Amino acid sequence: MKVLIPTPLRSYTGQRQVEAEGVTVGALLADLDRQYPGIRFRMVDEHDRMRRHMRLFVNGEQVFDLSRPLVSSDDIAIVQALSGG
Amino acid sequence: MAATKIKTTKKKAAKRAAAKPRTLVLVSTRKGAWIYQSDASRRSWETKGPHFLGHIINHMVLDPRDGRMLLAAAKTGHLGPTVFRSTDLGKTWKEAAKPPAFAKAPAGMRDRSVDHTFWLTPAHANEPNVWYAGTSPQGLFRSEDGGVSWAPFSNFHDDPNFRDWFGGEQDGTPDGPKLHSILIDPRDPSHLYFAMSGGGVHETRDRGKSWTPLVKGLEVVEGFDPKNIAFHDPHCVRMSSDPDRLWQQNHCGIYRLDRPSTEWVRVGKAMPKKTGDIGLPITVHPRDPDTAWVFPMDGGGVWPRTSPDGISGAFVTRNGGKTWKRQAAGMPEGPVWWTVKRQAMAADKGDPVGIYFGTTSGEVWSSRDEGEKWSALARHLPEIYAVETAEIG
């Protein structure tokens, strides 16, 4: 499925949108990390909690639970919350 | 004949200069890192950077054991923490495969997550490629492969006493409680110290199997009980050239500890009364255990943490803290409101020693003569978090 990558993570992917697979959000993130080593830990901490400013949307629905099931037609957007200075 | 002699003398001088080591000043900031490389005289400096523009770099350190490997502790305001490695003095960087991360806590204990790596220390000279890292919240990690992968070191992360001493959300520094000042005894790789803000100073003599708090003699903020380790706030601890002497800049004064004693002595009481002995950084002479430098800050009222009364200056002791002398020649004479963070003051190994400090307003100041005269090495940088030095051949 297609995954939208926010600009702060494009140093890993080199592109705005990438392809990744997984039957859950956790599996999708693992596949992303396999393709782009290190990217997962920048988004998710060591206890599988989404980091404070990271957001992941499945078909427009905000998801925090990594066990959330996915199907191949799902549209995934990883977004970084805007804040800071 | 005379011309030939002059030419030969010049060639010899050039050869001598080329053989002299170059100093690197590694500057970590809230928005990236910069490397300054000196000529042999430390008069002119070449700038390399920014590295990791936009990243918060808490610490960047060169491995003195190989003179090539750089490690940088990084995160951004939004992304999680990581460690970058360079094996070619910063020309290229690779990310750690497994950055410092806490293990799952035992049942009934709260899981902790690394917010950022704060402190990096190369291990003992006889342990090539081994590094230690201190994190926020307080954690101690070890890498045995040059920073590629990191694992929790020792068993204190989930020790009930340490959990108390770590404190809660309201404790620690404004951007998170930190483990810092990881010191390794050059005579024994099993003998380590670290400090926590808050949580005191701790020592192991058995490579982390057991730890002993070292807080006797240290004062705490009025109203707190000094017997409670959690209330101790060492800002920066350094090991002198004599590994039995430690220096400490604490939230409550400047201290010296001479082992085997376990009692710190508040040598900062000899500082001028109007300046006081509150500050964040401390750095030591590479060859003289009696000499140390501090950069005092205003710790009165609401704790501005700026130069006391707007008067800039480092202070040096050359007699183990019996007396202190202000060193400010070359610094602005008018009021300045600098803050120098705990990792942002360093000494090189030159003779005379070079001293460097970085301000939160983005200036790096340097002295080639042990603090007697100062000049600005860099201006207009982002907020400076750390300054380290290194020598390259």
Model confidence pLDDT, tens digit, residues B274-311 = 999 999 999 999 999 999 999 999 998 888 999 999 99
Report the topology of domain A2-80: Ubiquitin-like (UB roll) (3.10.20)
| Domain definitions of chain A by residue range | 2-80
Contact between B281 and B344 under an 8 Å Cβ cutoff? The reply is yes
CA torsion sign for B183, B186, B189, B191 is negative
Q: Give B47-94 as a DSSP string.
A: EEEEESTTSEEEEEEE-TTTS--EEEEEE-SSSPPEEEEESSTTSS-E
| Nearest residue on chain A to B100, alpha-carbon basis | A46
Going by pLDDT thresholds of 50, 70 and 90, the confidence category of residue B231 is very high
Q: What are B380's two structure tokens? A: 């207009």
Instruction: Kindly list the residues from chain B whose CB atom is less than 8 angstroms away from the CB atom of residue A78.
Output: none
Map chain A to HEC letters: CEEECCHHHHHHHCCCEEECCCCEHHHHHHHHHHHCCCHHHHHECCCCCECCCEEEEECCEEECCCCCECCCCCCEEEEECCCCC
Contact between B105 and B167 under an 8 Å Cβ cutoff? The reply is no
**Looking at CA atoms only, how far is residue A51 from chain B in angstroms?**
7
Q: What are B338's two structure tokens? A: 């600098």
Model confidence pLDDT, tens digit, residues B5-26 = 556 566 665 565 556 789 999 9
Contact A9 B77 (CB under 8 A): no
Contact B78 A80 (CB under 8 A): yes
Q: Is the pLDDT of residue B3 over 80?
A: no
How is the beta sheet containing B345-347 ordered, strand by strand?
A: B345-347, B355-358, B364-367, B375-378
Encode burial over B115-135: b for 16+ CB neighbours within 10 A, e otherwise.
Answer: bbbbbbbbbbeeeebbbbbbb
Q: What are B366's two structure tokens? A: 């340097």
- Whole-number Å distance between alpha carbons of A69 and A71: 7
Alpha-carbon distances, residue B287 vs B199, B283, B290, B353 (angstroms): 30, 12, 9, 9
Partner residue opposite B95 with nearest CB, options A8, A38, A43: A38
Q: Is the pLDDT of residue B263 over 50?
A: yes
Question: Which of A9, A13, A47, A80 to mutate to probe the B interface, most B CBs <10 Å?
Answer: A47
Model confidence pLDDT, tens digit, residues B108-151 = 999 999 999 999 999 999 999 999 999 999 999 999 999 999 99
Q: Any chain B CB within 8 A of the CB of A69?
A: no
Instruction: Kindly list the residues from chain A whose CB atom is less than 8 angstroms away from the CB atom of residue B79.
Output: 8-9, 42-43, 51, 54, 80
Classified as helix, coil or strand, B166 is helix
Question: Which of B53, B78, B116 to mutate to probe the A interface, most A CBs <10 Å?
Answer: B78
Q: Which long-range contacts (CB under 8 A, 24 or more apart) does B164-169 make?
A: B164/B229, B164/B230, B165/B196, B165/B198, B165/B199, B165/B200, B165/B213, B165/B229, B165/B230, B166/B137, B166/B138, B166/B196, B166/B199, B166/B230, B167/B198, B167/B199, B167/B230
Contact between A31 and A66 under an 8 Å Cβ cutoff? The reply is no
- Name the residue with tokens 């900062």: B268
Other CB atoms closer than 10 Å to residue B43's CB: what's the count? Answer: 9
CB pairs A-B closer than 8 Å: 51
- Whole-number Å distance between alpha carbons of B166 and B323: 34
What is the predicted pLDDT for the residue at B232? Answer: 96
Contact B101 A46 (CB under 8 A): yes
**Looking at CA atoms only, how far is residue B36 from chain A in angstroms?**
25
**Looking at CA atoms only, how far is residue A23 from chain B in angstroms?**
24
Instruction: Kindly list the residues from chain B whose CB atom is less than 8 angstroms away from the CB atom of residue A45.
Output: 80, 101, 113-114
| Residue ranges of chain A whose pLDDT lies below 50 | none
Model confidence pLDDT, tens digit, residues B323-339 = 999 999 999 988 999 99
Over range B159-186, report the average pLDDT: 90
Mean confidence (pLDDT) of chain B? 94
What is the predicted pLDDT for the residue at B100? Answer: 98
- Region of poorest pLDDT, from A56-70, B42-56, B256-270, B297-311: B297-311
Over range B183-197, report the average pLDDT: 98
**Looking at CA atoms only, how far is residue A68 from chain B in angstroms?**
22
Q: Is the pLDDT of residue B169 over 90?
A: no
Q: Any chain B CB within 8 A of the CB of A15?
A: no
Query: Which residues have CB under 8 Å from B280's CB, separation 6+?
Result: B235, B236, B249, B295, B297, B305, B339, B340, B341, B342, B344
Question: Which of A9, A13, A40, A41 to mutate to probe the B interface, most B CBs <10 Å?
Answer: A41
Q: Is the pLDDT of residue B389 over 80?
A: yes
- Whole-number Å distance between alpha carbons of B218 and B266: 7
Which of B254, B140, B283 is CA-nearest to residue B202?
Answer: B140
Which of B113, B2, B135 is CA-nearest to residue B58?
Answer: B135
Partner residue opposite B113 with nearest CB, options A42, A45, A80: A45
Which residues sit opposite A44 in a β-bridge?
A50
Q: What percent of chain B has pLDDT over 90?
A: 88
What is the predicted pLDDT for the residue at B15? Answer: 63
Partner residue opposite A41 with nearest CB, options B77, B78, B80: B80
Q: What percent of chain B has pLDDT over 70?
A: 95
Question: Which of B79, B94, B135 to mutate to probe the A interface, most A CBs <10 Å?
Answer: B79
**Looking at CA atoms only, how far is residue B235 from chain A in angstroms?**
26
Q: Environment class of residue B157 by beta-carbon count within 10 Å: exposed (0-12), middle (13-18) or buried (19+)? A: buried
Which of B299, B322, B301, B325 is CA-nearest to residue B313?
Answer: B325
What is the predicted pLDDT for the residue at B1? Answer: 46
Q: Which domains does chain B show, CATH number per domain?
A: 55-232 (2.130.10.10), 239-393 (2.130.10.10)
